[in-house]
Amino acid sequence: MLELDNLQKTFHPGTPNEVRALQGVSLTLDPGSFLIIIGTNGSGKSTLLNAVAGTFFVDTGKIHLAGHNITRWAEHQRARLIGRVFQNPFSGTAPSMSIAENMALAARRGRPRGFGWALNQRLREELRERVRSLNMGLEGRLDNAIGSLSGGQRQALTLLMASWLKPELLLLDEHTAALDPKSADQVIRLSHEIIQRDKLTTLMVTHSMQQAVHLGDRLIMMHQGRILSDLRGADKARAQPDDLLRRFEEIRQRDRFSPSVAELLQRAYV
Amino acid sequence: MTLFLGALTIGLILALLALGVYLSFRIFNFPDITAEGSITLGAAIAATLLVRGYGPVTATAAGFAGGVAAGAVTGILHTKCRINGLLSGILVMTALYSINLHVMSKSNVPLLNETTLATQAEKIGAAVFGGTADLNVFGWEVGVRDASMLLAVFTLISVLGVALYLFFRTNLGTAIRATGDNPQMIRAQGVSVDFILILGLGLSNGLIALGGAVLAQYQGFADVQMGIGMVVWGLASVIIGEALVGSTSVGLLITGAVMGSVLFRLLVAIALRWGLNPNDLKLITALFVFAALVGPQLLQRLTARRPVITSNPA
Ligand SMILES: Nc1ncnc2c1ncn2[C@@H]1O[C@H](COP(=O)(O)OP(=O)(O)O)[C@@H](O)[C@H]1O
Ligand SMILES: [Mg+2]
């Protein structure tokens, strides 16, 4: 269970570059829930995921995950509970290390690391099976450096790594945006499979309306650091790409007013 | 022949320096200048303890520990106090100069009648080879002292090299390598990048200080100036090693660093023999590293001018 309580984050406060990236985001996510996040560019989607992952501390607000108050936990401490796939396929793996070594590192996510061998025969067999399940023919290349693989292959492996130790929360930030359509499809299908199979509580940011309507059991739309709408259950299941696009159009219309007017309107109507 | 063996021995001892530099510069991509102070620190601690009557193993281990502490301080300055990496190293190196003088209470500590690792190696050598008469190795006259020294150092470096290789295959060791490769990734796997950097710089400088401790015992003195230029020296060894093994696998790179250090020392011995002014040694080493750093880029730029048809690398 994830609980976000009134999260606020301002970058470069008090300077001309001040950005109020999160302006009071509250959200309660049931265990096993798969939340899709969409929103305009710069609306704070990545900032929200980074805040949950601990890339930085929020200015105000509280974050609870799986019974822990993790608001003040460092990023590497939260990693015990959180698996993560980044937008950039280069971010999630150590390029000069082998597939097997990368997987072995993920097999100890958040656990102490001592002088035991990183790879043993049993672990190799296990990870070979998991890599085989990707159907990418990588199981025969376990000792190749990950840097030699394509973005799609790296993203699929990162997903496998993030979900290896069934995390309390899986964070996916436009993790297919940098891939060609075919790889993106493959990685999305894989994500869906893993999330379903392991019933992972998931936050997934996407810019694809197709993904937004076909995946997940709940959908939020963000704008200017706030959650504008929250669709669940039947509403979510009914939502069509056109509905979402229309909603974006409304937001764009409203933005034609001066920001302060928009703010007032929003307070009054949203 | 003695000259040749001497060069080999010093090359092997300074392989510890090369391994330390490989760890900081190559694995972490961290330009750690602390090395210049920590190699002297290792020598200073070992020599001082030896003079005070401590056993050579204790003295050497204490030298290693001193290096670990120095490296850890650099790591803490960088990670916890957010000081630029290069500057952190410079600060610690500068501080170490005074600390080393305090440790030795003078600028040079000679080891005259002390039992050192070197005298112990000689003793064992004399027992094994049956006396101190010159040996005949493939038709060359070789002094027992030189031969036993070389063998002892070779054994030490082999053991440490293998140990380091094995360490890099443990859970902790792979985490260290991944930290240098992609900090964002290893953080997402629950590892504190700060902690690993402090640990790694400690290990790196520990190895370098160990090299200093052994070097002091081999040459028979510790000197406060002995660290000057050592970082570039180690870097040159690592670069030569990389060229020799031409690979990115850890085991080969460790072997390469050791071979690079030995080869570099041999080249220096030959150059000095041919009449190179010793004062120019550091200049030439610096030029060599400069060429090795710039050369590949230059080559790339030259070849990039030609239109080449390649498949899309992405
Ligand atoms: N680390 C940062 N430093 C400064 N500004 C940031 C940082 N991260 C995000 N921002 C700013 O915060 C706003 C929200 O960004 P982001 O969350 O990345 O948007 P998106 O919804 O497109 O993912 C943007 O204006 C962005 O420029
Ligand atoms: Mg984003």
| A107 touches B at CB < 8 Å | no
Of B172, B178, B191, the CB nearest to A76: B191
Within-domain flag for B310: no
| A114 touches B at CB < 8 Å | yes
Of B172, B188, B248, the CB nearest to A92: B188
Do the Cβ atoms of A80 and B182 come within 8 Å? no
For residues A95 and B36, what is the distance between their CA atoms, to the nearest angstrom? 31
| A121 touches B at CB < 8 Å | no
Task: State whether residue A76 is helix, strand or coil.
Answer: helix
Of A91, A101, A145, the CB nearest to B174: A101
CA of residue A104 to ligand 1 center, whole Å: 32
- Ligand 1 near A11 CB (within 6 A): yes
Residue nearest to atom 4 of ligand 1 (CA): A11
Within-domain flag for B259: yes
For residue B136, the model assigns a pLDDT of 75
CA of residue A42 to ligand 2 center, whole Å: 7
Query: How many domains, in total, are found in chain B?
Result: 1
For residue B144, the model assigns a pLDDT of 83
- Which ligand gives the minimal distance to the CA of A25? 1
Within-domain flag for B312: no
For residue A269, the model assigns a pLDDT of 61
Residue nearest to atom 23 of ligand 1 (CA): A46
| A128 touches B at CB < 8 Å | no
Ligand 1, residues A25, A47, A207: which to mutate, most atoms within 8 A of Cβ?
A47
Of B170, B178, B314, the CB nearest to A97: B178
Within-domain flag for B313: no
- Ligand 1 near A225 CB (within 6 A): no
pTM of the model as a whole: 0.91
Residue nearest to atom 20 of ligand 1 (CA): A42
Do the Cβ atoms of B171 and A114 come within 8 Å? yes
| A178 touches B at CB < 8 Å | no
Within-domain flag for B199: yes
What's the ipTM?
0.90
- Binned at pLDDT 50, 70 and 90, residue B313 comes out as very low
Do the Cβ atoms of B191 and A106 come within 8 Å? no
| B313 touches A at CB < 8 Å | no
Q: How many CB pairs under 8 A join A and B?
A: 94
For residues B204 and A68, what is the distance between their CA atoms, to the nearest angstrom? 37
Q: Which residues are CB-contacts of A151 (< 8 A; sequence separation ≥ 6)?
A: A89, A90, A178, A179, A180, A183, B314
pLDDT per position as a tens digit, B282-293: 898 888 888 888
CA of residue A46 to ligand 1 center, whole Å: 7
pLDDT per position as a tens digit, A136-187: 999 999 999 999 999 999 999 999 999 999 999 999 999 999 999 999 999 9
Question: Looking at this protein, which amino acid is placed at residue A241?
Answer: P
Residue nearest to atom 1 of ligand 1 (CA): A11
pLDDT per position as a tens digit, B168-208: 999 999 999 999 999 999 999 999 999 999 999 999 999 99
For residue A252, the model assigns a pLDDT of 76
For residue B314, the model assigns a pLDDT of 40
Task: Give chain A's domains with CATH numbers.
Answer: 2-94+168-239 (3.40.50.300)
pLDDT per position as a tens digit, B246-287: 877 899 999 999 999 999 999 989 988 888 888 898 898 888
Query: Nearest-CA distance from B82 to chain A in Å?
Result: 16
Which residues numbered 210-239 in B keep a CB inside 8 Å of some CB on A? none
Cβ atoms of residues A113 and B191 within 8 Å: yes
Do the Cβ atoms of A97 and B175 come within 8 Å? no
Per-residue DSSP letters for chain B? -HHHHHHHHHHHHTHHHHHHHIIIIIIS----TTHHHHHHHHHHHHHHHHHTT--HHHHHHHHHHHHHHHHHHHHHHHHTS---HHHHHHHHHHHHHHHHHHHHSSSEEE-SS---HHHHHHHHHHHHHTSSSPEEETTEEE-HHHHHHHHHHHHHHHHHHHHHHHHTTBHHHHHHHHHHH-HHHHHHTT--HHHHHHHHHHHHHHHHHHHHHHHHHHHTEEETTTTTTHHHHHHHHHHHHHHHH----HHHHHHHHHHHHHHHHHHHHHHHHTT--GGGHHHHHHHHHHHHHHHHHHHHHHHHHS--------
- Computed over every residue of chain B, the mean pLDDT equals 91
| B193 touches A at CB < 8 Å | yes
- Ligand 1 near A151 CB (within 6 A): no
For residue A257, the model assigns a pLDDT of 61
Query: Does B94 have pLDDT greater than 70?
Result: yes
Within-domain flag for B187: yes
Within-domain flag for B311: no
Q: Which residues are CB-contacts of A28 (< 8 A; sequence separation ≥ 6)?
A: A1, A2, A3, A4
Within-domain flag for B297: yes
Do the Cβ atoms of A105 and B170 come within 8 Å? no
| B248 touches A at CB < 8 Å | yes
CA of residue A45 to ligand 2 center, whole Å: 6
Residue nearest to atom 27 of ligand 1 (CA): A42
| A61 touches B at CB < 8 Å | no
CA of residue A162 to ligand 2 center, whole Å: 19
Query: Does B230 have pLDDT greater than 90?
Result: yes
Task: Pick the atom of ligand 1 nearest to A173's CA.
Answer: 23
- Binned at pLDDT 50, 70 and 90, residue B146 comes out as confident
Per-residue DSSP letters for B257-299? HHHHHHHHHHHHHHHHHTT--GGGHHHHHHHHHHHHHHHHHHH
Task: Show the domain range for B146.
Answer: 2-305
Query: What's the CATH code of the domain at B192?
Result: 1.10.3470
Question: Looking at this protein, which amino acid is placed at residue B112?
Answer: L
Query: Does B125 have pLDDT greater than 90?
Result: no
- Ligand 1 near A47 CB (within 6 A): yes
For residue B137, the model assigns a pLDDT of 74
Do the Cβ atoms of B188 and A162 come within 8 Å? yes
For residues A118 and A148, what is the distance between their CA atoms, to the nearest angstrom? 21
Residues of chain A with pLDDT under 50: none
